Structure 1
Amino acid sequence: MQIQAPRVVRSTWHGAGAAGLAVVFWALVPLLVEQAGELPPLRLSALALLAGALGTLPMARRRRHRDTTLTGAQRLAIYLGIPLLMAGAVGASFAAFTRAPTAEAALILYTWPVLFLLASRRLALGRLPITTLAGGLLAFAGAALLVAPQALAGGVSGAWGGYLLALAAALCWALYSLASQVPAWRLATRMPHLLLIASTVVGGASLALEGVSALPSAATLQVAAALGLGPYGLAMLAWSRAMHDPQAHRLGNLAHAVPVLATLFLVLAGIAVPDWRLPLAALLVAAGSITASR
């Protein structure tokens, strides 16, 4: 027992550190997107996903012998469906930040853990527990707290397009999280290929919808690289490490801090105005996520 205890403690601390690192990187996404203002959102998404593919290369392994057990439909779902979800999640969220106030769009985006919990509990249990429903209502009440003034003041406005894009991105992340639970698909070791395909898809959409633009500045390229290497590179590696920890069921709750941290970073950077609705909405989203996961 005296020999095994330090290993358990060390494993738990490593897992908690990895989870905390991933949460901080994800919370920085809205702030980094705001810093890359000159790039169209789809072009920025393509560059970030490409950087993420390069950053996750250490995760890639050859598993051709195991891929032979996959059916044609499973391969299509992995190498087409998953990249489309990634492209939709990143592209829609980046576009949302340009069409709606960044802090408000970020809070709507980070309701995706609640959507994931609602879907996974429904699939696993065939019903939705009361705590899951209550947590979902709390989280969406936080998002509604930000959106309702827009509706009461001017009805459907330009910001609503950003809100809907943020919700679409949240749905994509929730569906991606469901797909990542399929053991046979082993998405972690396929991550570089999936991110590269997603980058190609978004890049094609960018050329079709945004046209050809001048080369971005070196500073903007650095922001795009930071987005890819951080939230879509190191963060995914760190989160994968945390989810293999013996205390993974507890470490997963750290993801509920993302909307609170994202709002805090935006306020500290002077991008979001310190409005009483922002911290209250962030706390409602975090409290709803924790309640739904109980």
Structure 2
Amino acid sequence: MQGQVSVRHTGLGALAILSWGTLGALGALSASLPPHLVLTFCFAIAAGIGWTICRLTGRTPARLLDGRVALFAALLAAYHLVYLEAFHHAAPIPVSLINYLWPACLIILGNLFFRLHSGWPGYLGAALGFIGVGVLIGKDGLALQSSEVFGYGLALSGALLWALFSNLRRHERFDAIASLTTICLGASLLCGVWWAATDAHWPDLARRDIGVILALGVGPAGGAFFLWDLGMRQGHAALLGVLGYSAPVLSTLLMLGLGMGTPGWEIFVAIAFITLGGAVVQFGART
């Protein structure tokens, strides 16, 4: 029975990875909408999913005013806000791939501040990831526009924020589903307040826009959080860690298939370096 449970939950974690492979494309498709409004709905959907799981499993969601819940809600909202905002300023494929430097950032921050002690494989993996991004955005030499630089900076900031979020969550003692439910609710409220305070106009939502918001909320910016947590806690965590580095490949291939970029050698070199760096990071984290 334990083997069946493990296989089933490993499958749930793999679904989360497939879902994250769509985040770049969905983020680019949402670029015509205010990111804080999009995320208000996405996190509300995620909180609804978590509340349903809590009801079915007898859990009690964490308190909204808990200090650590508020911190995680702020980090979760900030990460997604800067990531979606980056698509407003730079090409979607580089933005997506720069965001996938988060494993490298996780190792660097973890070693510096969270006693991760990954050793040399962690630093080597981080260096490989940054080399891949350097190849990608350096193909035009010094011809980058200021808007592109800003977009790339936002994407890198997102990678740092997700790395910080992940390092802090590693030391979290509360039930993950119960806390994530409230974290998503808090993130939704924060994004809604930000939208109301800075840009409180209601955009014209086409049917496609509504579909993109629903897909983000059910998938990579919502439901995938819970799938990943179940997979990591009750599935084959090591296998999922390796599979997780297929996400940049899936993301890039999907965006190319949707016509969001032009295939070029630098894209595939960047994918190779970032994926290889992620695999080395994973090795370092396990040794």
Which consecutive unaligned segments of at least 5 residues does structure 1 have? 1-6
Question: What is the CA distance between 1:239 and its match in structure 2?
Answer: 0.9
Partners of 1:52 and 1:229 within 8 A in 2? yes
Alignment-derived partner of residue 51 in structure 2: 57
- Residues of 1 paired with 2:97 and 2:235: CA distance? 30
Question: What is the CA distance between 1:140 and its match in structure 2?
Answer: 0.9
SS at match of 1:272: coil
Aligned partner of 1:166 among 122, 144, 155: 155
Say yes or no: does 1:139 pair with 2:129: yes
- Residues of 1 paired with 2:11 and 2:116: CA distance? 35
SS at match of 1:149: coil
Partners of 1:82 and 1:176 within 8 A in 2? yes
- Residues of 2 paired with 1:33 and 1:202: CA distance? 16
Partners of 1:253 and 1:290 within 8 A in 2? yes
Alignment-derived partner of residue 37 in structure 2: 43
Q: What pairs up with 1:74-223 in 2 under 5 angstroms?
A: 75-78=66-69, 80-122=70-112, 125=115, 127-150=117-140, 152-154=141-143, 157-223=146-212
- Residues of 2 paired with 1:235 and 1:103: CA distance? 21
Alignment-derived partner of residue 9 in structure 2: 15
Question: What is the CA distance between 1:128 and its match in structure 2?
Answer: 5.0
CA RMSD of aligned residues (A): 2.2
Q: Which has more helix, going by share of residues?
A: 1
- Residues of 2 paired with 1:126 and 1:179: CA distance? 11
Say yes or no: does 1:282 pair with 2:271: yes
- Residues of 2 paired with 1:269 and 1:155: CA distance? 24
What amino acid does structure 1 have at the position aligned with 2:19?
A: F
After superposition, give the CA deviation of every residue in 1:174-228 in whole Å (9 maximum; x if it has no partner).
1111121124233431222211211121122223333413342233122101101
After superposition, give the CA deviation of every residue in 1:251-290 in whole Å (9 maximum; x if it has no partner).
2222111111110110111112111111110111110011
- Residues of 1 paired with 2:188 and 2:267: CA distance? 32
Q: TM-score, normalised by structure 2?
A: 0.88
- Residues of 2 paired with 1:123 and 1:131: CA distance? 18
Partners of 2:114 and 2:167 within 8 A in 1? no
Which consecutive unaligned segments of at least 5 residues does structure 2 have? none
Please say which of residues 196-205 and 30-39 is displaced more in the overlay: 30-39
Query: Cα–Cα, structure 1 residues 263 and 13, in superposed 2: closer, same or farther, change >3 Å?
Result: same
Aligned residues: 278
- Residues of 1 paired with 2:172 and 2:143: CA distance? 47
SS at match of 1:184: coil
Question: What is the CA distance between 1:40 and its match in structure 2?
Answer: 1.8
Partners of 1:38 and 1:216 within 8 A in 2? no
- Residues of 2 paired with 1:141 and 1:51: CA distance? 37
- Residues of 2 paired with 1:117 and 1:281: CA distance? 19
- Residues of 2 paired with 1:113 and 1:187: CA distance? 21
Q: What pairs up with 1:254-293 in 2 under 5 angstroms?
A: 254-293=243-282
Query: Cα–Cα, structure 1 residues 122 and 186, in superposed 2: closer, same or farther, change >3 Å?
Result: farther
Question: What is the CA distance between 1:63 and its match in structure 2?
Answer: 6.4
Question: What is the CA distance between 1:56 and its match in structure 2?
Answer: 2.2
- Residues of 2 paired with 1:149 and 1:275: CA distance? 10
Say yes or no: does 1:242 pair with 2:240: no
Moved over 6 A (4+): none
What amino acid does structure 2 have at the position aligned with 1:43?
A: L
**Identity of matched residues, %:** 24
